Structure 1
Amino acid sequence: MTKIFAHRGSAGTHPENTMVSFREAERVGADGIELDVQMTKDGQIVVIHDETIDRTTNGTGWVKEFTYKELRKFDASYKFAGQYGFCPIPLLEEVLSWGKQTKLLFNIELKNGFIQYETLEEQVIQMVKEFKMETRVILSSFNHNSMARCHRMAPEIETALLYMESLYEPWKYVQAIGASALHPYHATVNESLVHEAHQHGVAVRPFTINKQAVMKKMFGYHVDAIFTDYPEKARNVLKTI
């Protein structure tokens, strides 16, 4: 059965990458949560998608130029002002501490394609191990060098490659890096890709799927999971198939 990962939590209905969004994803029956990590000036791992806080909070500036204490003052419910109260940018530690009490899977996307955060991989891996969640976490990134590095450091934690354009025989590429899953942009996915990847023991989890028709198509291809901003909608679509 295809799993449903709530993309940045239930980001279509709640402020993305916040605890309120993650809790909503669990409430509506998502199998897992996708979240993004960056690093603060004082080396804390925070859950936010962009390298700056401009789009998702009431502040402006680079994540890497604030201490966590300073970042905590900004409201990440900005896009949903007045609906959910004040939502701080969470620490990865906070999310995993809550997540450990649930049955959810966690896809942690390392946002290190644009800014090379030193020790980001080491710190994320160390934290996953501290919470003993190695079997419930997938690490992913558009930075494939980073994923190769993660696999060398912690082969027991699954790694997955994010990509936007079609790749030639991507299952071979994945295996060369030591990763075990493809996380492609959904428009590049067809039935034969999924079939071939599965033949080679490689999982396929396309992103970000919010339209019902595309959800049905992907479920029909028997992808391993989808990433969606609307986990409740996806759950209801899956029930009809």
Structure 2
Amino acid sequence: MDDVGREAGQGRAGRPRSGRPGPPDPVDARLARFSGVVGEVVDPLIWGLDLEDEALTGYDDETDPTSDRFVRSYRTFARESFEVETLRTPVAADAVEDVVRAAASGALVAPLHADIASPVEPDTTQTPHGTSDFADDFADYRSAMRSIVTEVDAVPLESAELTVDGTSRPATRVRVRDVTAVHVSLPGRDLVVTGPADLVDRVDVVTRPIRSLLHPPGRR
């Protein structure tokens, strides 16, 4: 997966120090194709959120509407994840369920990523053969993932509303444990908002041009 983080637009990787133009910057090419508005939380600190990252993520796949996304990732003061994803390609009606369930599953699986130990980490649990068995850890991880996906698939979807740009819009929602994922369609773009259930329904989400987010006034 190709992730282009907050450093994406700062400077021009394609311009060497000599000042002569270099090859086109692939980051700029992706931003140009993604030109338009993307979602964000208004005044995140009011909601106890801190912006952790913003990134273009995904890969080129014209058949998958989620393959090209702009993601703004926040973290609550309790270290919970909150994400606003902007999909460059609108989602077909028969694919919305898969998108919402995948977002909820991803949020629930995320904490597992930090739990699987690398076989070269010096502080892993000792076994008779040295460090902990990475294969066993990975098998446990995959088993936990499958369990979460099965749990999410068993929860019925809900018709809901999500306020974007001050307007309440029809949305599709799934809530599992304390995590909610909501999909809403906008003109030419779709948003998926995922996070703690008590926050998703209350935060103020707006859309703004992608360049103003990566290049706010005064940033150099």
Higher helix proportion (structure 1 or 2): 1
Question: TM > 0.5 between the two?
Answer: no
Taking structure 1 as the reference length, the TM-score comes to 0.23
Taking structure 2 as the reference length, the TM-score comes to 0.24
Higher strand proportion (structure 1 or 2): 2
Indicate the structure whose relative CO is greater, using CA pairs within 8 Å and at least 6 residues apart.
2
Which of structures 1 and 2 has the bigger CA Rg?
A: 2
